[in-house]
Structure 1
């Protein structure tokens, strides 16, 4: 079997690999829940949120490719198989069937917020072992925070 050699020492490679794999799962999952919501959203803000969901999906898909390629460059085989994603994905997802626009917004705010929290943990974990991976995770976090902010602004002013 061919093996890709890494320039990182093994302990650092393991930490970076775990951070990248967890991020890959979250990003692929976000793209799936974003599309599910995109196809099933209903309500007065259908069009604007429908289009915003496409932006999130495009972002998640583009970054998932970058994350997987970073893992491969480190000699870590990225695992984006459906069964892997299904087994490891734990972010909030849309319910079955049609979903009200306000529910979609709330679900996306929560899902993105959870993913951002995990990314911040991975940023801290990769600080010393692999600043290159950390830099990638910082970029992803910034973009997901922007997307989360845009969804959260959809529900302003709040009823409570």
Structure 2
């Protein structure tokens, strides 16, 4: 099967957001400071590993569908839907907010192309489901670092 233009475009959008997510995760990983540093430092490695794994799966799926995957830095910078990562040191609190936003933004991209992917290539939806399951879980786990309980 050859990917339709819509399917290829959607998978490419997911690919660049996954690559950007991995880059932002590493940027935060290297530069976070503050309370719960170690816990977040390790969680960010999990985010990066997941993003890299899923980026590879999406790129390989594009190739299997006879389409070119474009993960060049210029392409990622130009086409990602994620907010640009800040530079310099970042507090653990800000890093949590930023990485959760990047995780949720990537999930939004996946959900935004899901219908077209399901219509054109139902087999690829398995990949998208795995991405959503893992990234949404990671967003919850990272955001729990700042969660507060409600007390009566």
Asked if 1:115 is matched to 2:106, the reply is yes
Cα distance, 1:137–1:84 mapped onto 2, change above 3 Å? same
Asked if 1:127 is matched to 2:118, the reply is yes
Q: TM-score, normalised by structure 1?
A: 0.88
Contact 2:81 2:105 in 1 (8 A): no
Structure 2: any 5+ residue segments left out of the alignment?
A: none
Could you tell me which residue of structure 2 aligns to residue 45 of structure 1?
36
Matches of 2:131 and 2:125, distance apart in 1: 10
Cα-Cα RMSD: 1.3
Could you tell me which residue of structure 2 aligns to residue 25 of structure 1?
16
Q: State the shift of 1:117 in Å.
A: 1.3
Counterpart of 2:4 in 1: which secondary structure? helix
Could you tell me which residue of structure 2 aligns to residue 71 of structure 1?
62
Cα distance, 1:93–1:51 mapped onto 2, change above 3 Å? farther
Report the number of matched residues: 149
Q: TM-score, normalised by structure 2?
A: 0.93
Matches of 2:31 and 2:85, distance apart in 1: 9
